[in-house]
Amino acid sequence: MKLRFRLLLLMLTSLFRSKQPMSHISRLKLRVWPVDVDIKKVNIERFFAFGDLGWASMLMDWGIFRQILTSRYAPFGKCLSLSVKGPLWLFQRFEIQTTIIWCDHYWVYAEQQFLSKGQIVAISVIKGGVLQEGRLLKVNQWMPQAELVSVLGKPELVDLYQRTEKAMWRATRG
């Protein structure tokens, strides 16, 4: 419930923002409010929730959020790693910068940096996709510029995550 108001505000402000290319770094400025903290600082679970807002902001910057809503798509993201270097304190301002690092057939990989006063507070790598009627869509069905990112070459980090996920999948099925 707490983040729904932020998401609603993000959706309303996206109506007045111009469409950005995929190479654009999505920037979302936020402040830590009392509902975000345990006692004085943000807990690890809230970083994941803030990351979801960053993912939604990026989709809105690309101008495809409206398409997602009208097509009854369900966007989702999954955090592959999160490294917290320092706390976010009550009422502290911070910014989430989301950058695409790779696309394959079904997934978009992005890096998110949480910055406060120009310093990195946390870094996460997320993997996002879109569902339609419970089925995972190919990236080029909902994001026409995906081929441009795929041509750049797969970063080593993404390759490592993909191999790890395959090994975990096999281990749980065996």
| Per-residue pLDDT reduced to its tens digit, 10-56 | 988 888 888 887 778 999 999 999 999 988 899 989 999 999 999 99
Calculate helix-pair angle for 2-14, 44-62, nearest 10 degrees: 20
Residues 8, 9, 15, 16: what is their CA dihedral angle, to the nearest 10 degrees? 180
Overall domain count for the chain: 1
Residue 69 clears pLDDT 80, i.e. is over it = no
- Are 153 and 106 in contact, with CB atoms under 8 Å apart? no
Residue 154 clears pLDDT 70, i.e. is over it: no
Report the C-alpha gap between 52 and 115 in whole angstroms: 16
Q: Read off φ and ψ for residue 65, nearest 5 degrees.
A: -65, -40
* pLDDT over threshold 70, residue 131: yes
Write down the H helix ranges in 63-174: 65-70, 139-142, 146-150, 156-173
Question: Given pLDDT bands bounded at 50, 70 and 90, which one contains residue 171?
Answer: confident
What residue numbers bound the domain in which 10 lies? 2-173
What CATH number should be reported for the domain holding residue 61? 3.10.129.10
Share in percent of the chain as helix, strand, coil (round to 5): 40, 35, 30
Task: Let me know if 126 is exposed, middle or buried by CB neighbors in 10 A (0-12, 13-18, 19+).
Answer: buried
| Of 8-12, 110-114, 137-141, 154-158, minimum mean pLDDT range | 154-158
